[in-house]
Amino acid sequence: MPFVYQKNLITFSMIGLSFAFFAACLPSVKAQNITNITGVGSSFAAPLYQNWAASASKEIDIKVNYQALGSSAGKNQVIAKTVNFGALDMPTSTEQLTSANLLQFPTAIGGVAVVVNIPGIKENQVRLTGDIIANIYQGKITKWNDPKIAGLNKDIILPSIDIAPIYRADGSGTTQVFTSYLSKESADWKKNFGANTSIAWPVGMGGRGNGSVASTVKNIEGGIGYVEYAYALQNHLNTAQLKNISGSFVSINENSIKAAAKAADWVHAKNYSVDLINTKDDDSWPIVSTTYILLPVYSQDSKAVIKFFRWGFDHGDAIATQLHYVPLPIVVKEKIEKTWEYAGVASKEAKK
């Protein structure tokens, strides 16, 4: 008996020792010089940052752990300094930036698509205006063959079915952008509902997240909703044409979003808080927004964050386009580089 015990003991200790050896060896070889940074925030930008992170970790020894908890969570946590950067879908006010010692810069541009589900109507066939959409979401227009809609769409026959307005039920930057657009287009909307991450919708039903809004629109005949452009593409939803401020009807695609980005006044915008809604260009899509990064100025880790986003600006445009974001114009990227230097967060050795 004692012999058997001894034999077992030897076997176990051998196995244990070999595990211990590997455990001691492996990480020490691999984990050299890798900086870990964490970010929290916008779910709209999450695919972009996660894909950038996956590609960047191979090249620049920075491991980014990004969690899409929502824009407000990003702001809360970066102010509380529990994360290295926060990602937001809307600009933060200058007062708040200075009081919390934060730096803000944009990373990518995206469009919000208006999607519809009308039987017999194809992609980009139906034409709408901001005022009509505001009326639909206020419950003033309830049928698809309403004279106001039919007047704009004389070449197609709209069925007389109920309109089901669908919105984001969870607080979201997409809602903020969409309602800002409606507020600009309709004085009634501005007075009664305004713009916010979530508002008191008078009619319709809500879905949780872009995906849920997309599938609800797909599910319900007569539905209308708003989602990020990428979701409209992925779910093969029928987008609607919108009348932009120059008076022409445009459909949403990379070019019309790019046109809006170009037409915006980046030079004079303080802290990059540009307004990309209703930019004055013949081809520009009216509902466009940027997504931002917030990071603390006085923090050692901010240099790693900057290194990561510099990599993203230099090498990440292809990934961004693949994911249906529109990369920032080169002028803006150059301006951001200057901002980093001015704030003293840019690390010297990474500069090219």
Partner 1 sequence: MAIFQSKNRKNNQILPYLFTSLTWCSGALIILIFIGLIIELCWQGRQAFSVFGFEFITSTTWNPVKQQYSAGVSLIGTLLSSCIGVMLALPLSFGCAYCLSELMPRFIARYMTATIQLLAAIPSIILGMWGFFILVPLMSKYVQPFLKQVFGNVPYVEILFSGGTFGVGILTAGLILAIMITPFITAMMQESFANTPSMLKESAYSLGATKWEVMRHVTLPWVQKGVIGGIVLGWGRALGETMAVTFVIGNAHHAGWSLFTSSNTIASLIALEFSESTAGSLKMSSLMALGAVLMMISFIVLFCSQLLLKQVLKSR
Please say whether the dihedral angle defined by the alpha carbons of residues 50, 51, 55 and 56, taken in this order, is positive or negative: negative
Residue 316: CB atoms within 10 Å: 24
- Which range binds partner 1 by CB under 8 A, 23-31, 48-56, 192-200, 260-268? 192-200
- Which range binds partner 1 by CB under 8 A, 56-64, 122-130, 191-199, 249-257? 191-199
Based on the shown chain and the rule CB under 8 A, indicate whether residue 197 belongs to the binding site for partner 1: yes
Q: Which pair of structure tokens corresponds to residue 239?
A: 């987008």
Residue 54 Cβ, how far from partner 1 at the closest point, in Å?
A: 24
Residue 13: CB atoms within 10 Å: 11
Residue 214 Cβ, how far from partner 1 at the closest point, in Å?
A: 12
> How many residues belong to the site for partner 1 (CB under 8 A)?
35
Report d(CA 45, CA 30) in Å as an integer. Answer: 29
Residue 170 Cβ, how far from partner 1 at the closest point, in Å?
A: 4
Residues 6+ apart with CB under 8 A from 267: 335
Q: Assign 290 to helix, strand or coil.
A: strand
- Which range binds partner 1 by CB under 8 A, 8-16, 112-120, 209-217, 258-266? 209-217
Based on the shown chain and the rule CB under 8 A, indicate whether residue 72 belongs to the binding site for partner 1: yes
Residue 300 Cβ, how far from partner 1 at the closest point, in Å?
A: 25
State which of residues 39, 47, 130, 207 lies at the interface with partner 1 (CB under 8 A). Answer: 207
**Nearest Cα residue to 72 out of 85, 88, 84, 91:** 88
Task: Residue count of the chain, please give it.
Answer: 352
- Which range binds partner 1 by CB under 8 A, 13-21, 125-133, 193-201, 269-277? 193-201
- Which range binds partner 1 by CB under 8 A, 215-223, 279-287, 290-298, 342-350? 215-223
Site string for partner 1, 26-45 (x = CB under 8 A): --------------------
Render the burial of 26-50: b for 16+ CB within 10 Å, e for the rest: eeeeeeeeebebbbbbbbbbbbbbe
State which of residues 37, 39, 75, 184 lies at the interface with partner 1 (CB under 8 A). Answer: 75
Based on the shown chain and the rule CB under 8 A, indicate whether residue 345 belongs to the binding site for partner 1: no
Based on the shown chain and the rule CB under 8 A, indicate whether residue 194 belongs to the binding site for partner 1: yes
Which residue's CB is nearer to partner 1, number 134 or number 195?
195
Based on the shown chain and the rule CB under 8 A, indicate whether residue 230 belongs to the binding site for partner 1: no
Based on the shown chain and the rule CB under 8 A, indicate whether residue 107 belongs to the binding site for partner 1: no
Residue 248: CB atoms within 10 Å: 13
**Nearest Cα residue to 322 out of 66, 125, 50:** 50
Interaction with partner 1 in 120-179: which residues (CB under 8 A)?
A: 162, 164, 169-172
Residues 6+ apart with CB under 8 A from 271: 91, 92, 94, 97, 104
Report d(CA 132, CA 149) in Å as an integer. Answer: 7
Report d(CA 343, CA 297) in Å as an integer. Answer: 7
Based on the shown chain and the rule CB under 8 A, indicate whether residue 212 belongs to the binding site for partner 1: yes
Q: Residue numbers of the site for partner 1 (CB under 8 A)?
A: 69-73, 75-76, 80, 162, 164, 169-172, 193-201, 203-208, 212, 215-216, 219-221
